[in-house]
């Protein structure tokens, strides 16, 4: 396998951007208030609700993008916070819709410098995201459009990571072979396994510094500031 890297692809949510308070426990309570739901905004209860909803979402195996999967995810979180009543479905739908709005998110402070350095090195940069957010609007909102060559969202493509076709589509879009490309993301299942099954290399971004599972030949970084050096040394498997 060639270690020459010609393209680097990035996950978006929790790799390049993170949600503002709109989507924390108090934010969910505000959503609930608008729909007549009495939610308990306890942070610990909220975290348990998120984890339970994520576990249920992970059980979907066909990886076809369906909006109702994510609406159901939001509904499960609301239920975990004590939400019940006729406003539940409408509230979950509003949360799903608002997740696509860039104004509710912030760019991590290491993103632009890392992308600019990789771009300066002549690398093609792309996005591969399980999202219904418009990635063209995302790029313009955060001033990344001059750095990104191509972006593939699961909503437009039809399949979600780790389905191989979304990675193959991204590779074709920037015109590189799989062994010339690197995937960077925060999910072992979606980003690392997904990329490696089509022959790409991968880097796991663990911003918290905590990693549940370490994989052979997969570098782990805690900041994108570390990425240009990893790419330059070819120390990816």
For residue 189, the domain's CATH number is 3.40.50.1000
How far apart CA 163 and CA 95 sit, in angstroms, is 25
Distances (CA, A) of 24 to 42, 59, 67, 105, 201: 10, 24, 21, 12, 33
Distance CA 204, CA 14 (A): 12
89/116 same-domain check: no
Are residues 151 and 175 both part of a single domain?
yes
Domain count, the chain: 2
- Tell me what pLDDT residue 62 has: 81
The confidence score (pLDDT) of residue 215 equals 76
What SS3 string covers 2-42? CCCCCEEEECCECCCEEECHHHCHHHHHHHHHHCCCCCCCC
| CATH number of the domain bearing residue 30 | 1.10.150
Note whether 94 and 135 are same-domain residues. no
Q: What is the pTM of this model?
A: 0.94
Provide the mean pLDDT of the chain. Answer: 94
Domain of residue 73 covers: 20-103
Domain assignment of residue 1, yes or no: no
The pLDDT of residue 237 is: 56
Tell me the C-alpha distance between 236 and 230, whole Å: 7
Together in a domain, 81 and 113: no
Q: Spell out the residues 6+ positions from residue 207 whose beta carbon is closer than 8 angstroms to its own.
A: 14, 108, 186, 222, 223
Beta bridge partners of 124: 7
Q: What's the whole-number mean pLDDT along residues 108-129?
A: 97
118 and 86 assigned to the same domain: no
* 78-107: pLDDT as tens digits: 999 999 999 999 999 999 999 999 999 999
Sheet holding 124-129, edge to edge: 150-153, 124-129, 7-10, 181-185, 201-205, 220-221
Question: How much of the chain, in percent, has pLDDT values that exceed 70?
Answer: 96
The b/e string for 150-163 (b: 16+ C-beta within 10 A; e otherwise) is bbbbbbebebbbbb
| pLDDT for res 2 | 45
Share of the chain above pLDDT 90, in %: 88
**How far is the C-alpha of 79 from the C-alpha of 38, rounded, in Å?**
10
Q: What does each C-alpha distance from 73 to 16, 20, 176, 177 come to in angstroms?
A: 22, 19, 35, 35
């Amino acid at each position: 396998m060639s270690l020459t890297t010609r393209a680097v692809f990035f996950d978006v949510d929790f790799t390049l951007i993170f949600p503002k308070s709109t989507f924390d426990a108090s934010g969910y309570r505000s959503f609930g208030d608008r729909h007549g739901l009495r939610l308990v905004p306890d942070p610990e209860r909220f975290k348990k609700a998120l984890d339970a909803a994520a576990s249920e979402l992970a059980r979907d195996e066909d990886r076809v993008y369906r909006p109702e999967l994510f609406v159901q995810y939001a509904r499960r979180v609301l239920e975990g916070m004590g939400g019940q009543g006729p406003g539940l479905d409408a509230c979950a739908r509003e949360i799903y819709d608002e997740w696509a709005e860039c104004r509710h998110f912030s760019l991590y402070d290491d993103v632009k410098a890392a992308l600019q350095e990789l771009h300066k090195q002549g690398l093609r940069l792309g996005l591969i995201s399980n999202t219904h957010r418009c990635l063209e609007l995302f790029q313009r909102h955060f001033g990344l459009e001059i750095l990104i060559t191509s972006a593939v969202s699961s909503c437009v493509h039809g399949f979600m990571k780790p389905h191989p076709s979304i990675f193959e589509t991204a590779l074709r879009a920037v015109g590189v072979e799989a062994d010339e490309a690197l995937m960077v993301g925060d999910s072992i299942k979606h980003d690392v396994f997904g990329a490696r099954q089509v022959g790409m290399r991968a880097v796991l971004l663990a911003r918290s510094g905590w990693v549940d599972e370490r994989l052979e030949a997969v570098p782990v970084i805690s900041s994108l500031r570390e990425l240009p050096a990893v790419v330059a040394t070819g120390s990816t498997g």
